[in-house]
Amino acid sequence: MPNVLDRSQSIAPSLKPGKDLAQPQPSDADPLRIGGLTRLTSIDYPGELAAVVFCQGCPWRCRYCQNGDLLDDDSGGGISWSEVRGFLEHRVGLLDGVVFSGGEPTAQRALAAAMREARSLGYKIGLHTGGAYPQRLSQLLPLLDWVGLDIKALPEDYPSVTGVPGSGEQAWESLRLLLAAGIPLEVRTTLMPGWTPDLVGELAKTLADAGVSNYCLQACDRDHTLDPRLAAGQPARTGLTAQVRPEWFSSLSSRGTWL
Ligand code: SF4
């Protein structure tokens, strides 16, 4: 899932609820709760020009979350799927893909119908997910062209990040499903303040051994975290990533502002 940093780097402003978009026929995707829409981005779907649909709701409360306004199931101020669909209908041929992000998109049962509608318009489908619902993810696999999956920690360390017991097992099961399906995948890890080089190295090696080939290490934006106590920490990039070997991955990248 992109954080505030990702959205601020998008090359077009986000669409707010409006009255000037077409109102198509009702569909199974209409219940999808959407907190926002980025109309054009070149950074949220590798190699593609895309729109990003920010789905409302997430079962986790990661300490470094940048999207606090998307965590509740219903913010009350979102955009309807019919508005998004109308927008997408008018951008056919101008955009390559649609990324469903959040929040946690797979928290909503209407996601599959929305993906099918976007595919029917000719768009490639991207998904940003933390992997909180592996069973639902397994049903979405035939609809996905690319996935950005957050792996936040080793399974046993997840509750210290998400605040939710068992969240690590869910995320790592989602990783297993995506690797088995062979869907183009970027795995991302946000480096928590206070982590050690040993911990980061062990996590990266475990991911490489699991079959992850495209890995991105993300800086923690300590100015906009759900847990304000994170602002007191200061991770050092060179120290934290010193034990991550580039040769473990086909692609190893970093994202964000390193302090
Ligand atoms: S998974 Fe964590 S970082 Fe992502 S939206 Fe949910 S709480 Fe925020």
pLDDT digits (tens, 9 = 90+) for 114-149: 999 999 999 999 999 999 999 999 999 999 999 999
Mean pLDDT of 151-174: 98
77, pLDDT greater than 80:
no
Strand ranges, E, within 2-136: 14-15, 34-41, 50-55, 97-101, 124-129
Which has the minimum average pLDDT: 42-56, 72-86, 155-169, 201-215? 72-86
Tell which atom from ligand 1 comes closest to the C-alpha of 68: 8
- Is residue 237 very low, low, confident or very high in pLDDT (cuts 50, 70, 90)? low
Mean pLDDT for 47-56 is 98
CATH architecture classification, 4-14+27-255: Alpha-Beta Barrel (3.20)
Residue 53: closest CA among 106, 9, 105: 105
> Tokens at residue 259, please?
């302090």
pLDDT band for 54, please (50, 70, 90 cuts): very high
Whether 35 lines ligand 1, by a CB cut-off of 6 Å, is no
The closest-lying atom of ligand 1 relative to the alpha carbon of residue 130 is 1
Q: How confident is the model at residue 240 (pLDDT cuts 50, 70, 90)?
A: confident
Angle at 167 between CA 162 and CA 169, to 5 degrees: 145
pLDDT in tens, 5-38: 344 334 333 544 444 455 557 889 999 999 999 9
Report the length, in residues, of the chain. 259
Q: Using the atom order of ligand 1, give the atom closest to the CA of residue 190.
A: 3
Q: Residue ranges of the domains in the chain?
A: 4-14+27-255
Is residue 60 lining ligand 1, measured as CB closer than 6 Å?
A: yes
**Average pLDDT score over residue span 234-247:** 79
Contact (CB, 8 A) for 32 and 3: no
Whole-number pLDDT of residue 238: 62
User: Average pLDDT over the chain, rounded to whole?
Assistant: 89
pLDDT mean over 29-53:
96
Q: Which residue has the higher pLDDT, 138 or 235?
A: 138
Rounded to the nearest angstrom, the distance between the alpha carbon of 220 and the centre of ligand 1 is: 13
pLDDT value of position 15: 47
Q: What is the mean pLDDT of residues 229-240?
A: 68
User: Encoding tokens for residue 93?
Assistant: 């041929």
Q: Is 67 in the pocket of ligand 1 (CB under 6 A)?
A: yes
Pocket test for ligand 1, best of 62, 64, 133 (most atoms within 8 A of CB): 62
Residue 93 CB contacts under 8 Å (≥ 6 apart), including other chains: none
Query: Residue 78 — pLDDT band, cuts 50, 70, 90?
Result: confident
What confidence score (pLDDT) does residue 13 get? 39
Residue 199 is inside which H or E element, if any? Answer: helix 197-210
Task: Please work out whether the CB of residue 221 comes within 6 Å of at least one atom of ligand 1.
Answer: no
**Hey, what are 246's tokens?**
């580039």
Cα separation of 98 and 126, whole Å? 6
Instruction: Tell me how far apart the 2 most distant CA atoms of the chain are, in Å.
Output: 55
Mutate to test the pocket of ligand 1, among 4, 53, 58, 63 (most ligand atoms within 8 A of CB): 58
